[in-house]
Structure 1
Amino acid sequence: MAFQPIVDVSLERVYAYEALVRGPNGESAQGVLSQVSAENRYAFDQKCRVAAIRGAVAAGILDDDAKLSINFLPNAVYSPIACIQLTLATATATGFPTDRLIFEFTENEQMPDPAHVANIVAAYRKMGFATALDDFGAGHAGLALLAAIQPDIIKLDMALMQGIAASSVKRTIVAHVVRMCAELGIVVIGEGVETVAELDVLRQIGVRYIQGHVFARPGFRSLAPVHWPASTAIAI
Structure 2
Amino acid sequence: MAFQPIVDVETSTTFAYEALVRGPEGQGAMSVLGQVTEANRYGFDQACRVKAIETAMAAGIADTDARLSINFLPNAVYSPVACIQLTLRTAERYAFPPERLIFEFTENEQMASPDHLEAIIATYRDIGFAVAVDDFGAGHSGLDLFARFPTDLVKLDRELVRGIDTDRRRQAVARALVGLCADLDTVLIAEGIETLEEGRALRDLGIRYHQGFLYARPGFESLPEIAVAL
TM-score by length of 2: 0.98
Amino acid in structure 2 at the alignment position of 1:119: A
SS at match of 1:91: helix
Give, in angstroms, the shift of residue 140 of structure 1: 3.1
In 2, Cα distance between equivalents of 1:133 and 1:4: 17
Q: Structure 1 residue 228 and structure 2 residue 228: aligned?
A: yes
Give structure 1 stretches of 5+ with no counterpart. none
Q: Structure 1 residue 141 and structure 2 residue 141: aligned?
A: yes
Residue of structure 2 equivalent to 1:98: 98
Deviations 1:11-49 (A, max 9, x none): 111000000000000010011111111111000000000
Residue of structure 2 equivalent to 1:3: 3
Contact conserved, 1:110 with 1:140, CA < 8 A, in 2? no
- Structure 2 matches for 1:205-224, cutoff 5 A? 205-224=205-224
Deviations 1:53-99 (A, max 9, x none): 00000000000110000000000011111000000111111121111
Residue of structure 2 equivalent to 1:192: 192
In 2, Cα distance between equivalents of 1:78 and 1:132: 20
Residue of structure 2 equivalent to 1:118: 118
- Structure 2 matches for 1:1-236, cutoff 5 A? 1-229=1-229, 232=230
What percent identity do the matched residue pairs reach? Answer: 57
May I ask how many residue pairs the two structures share in their alignment? 230
In 1, Cα distance between equivalents of 2:99 and 2:219: 23
Give structure 2 stretches of 5+ with no counterpart. none
In 2, Cα distance between equivalents of 1:207 and 1:113: 31
| Superposition RMSD in Å | 0.7
Contact conserved, 1:115 with 1:148, CA < 8 A, in 2? no
Give, in angstroms, the shift of residue 112 of structure 1: 3.0
SS at match of 2:189: strand
Deviations 1:192-211 (A, max 9, x none): 00100000100010000000
In 1, Cα distance between equivalents of 2:140 and 2:41: 20
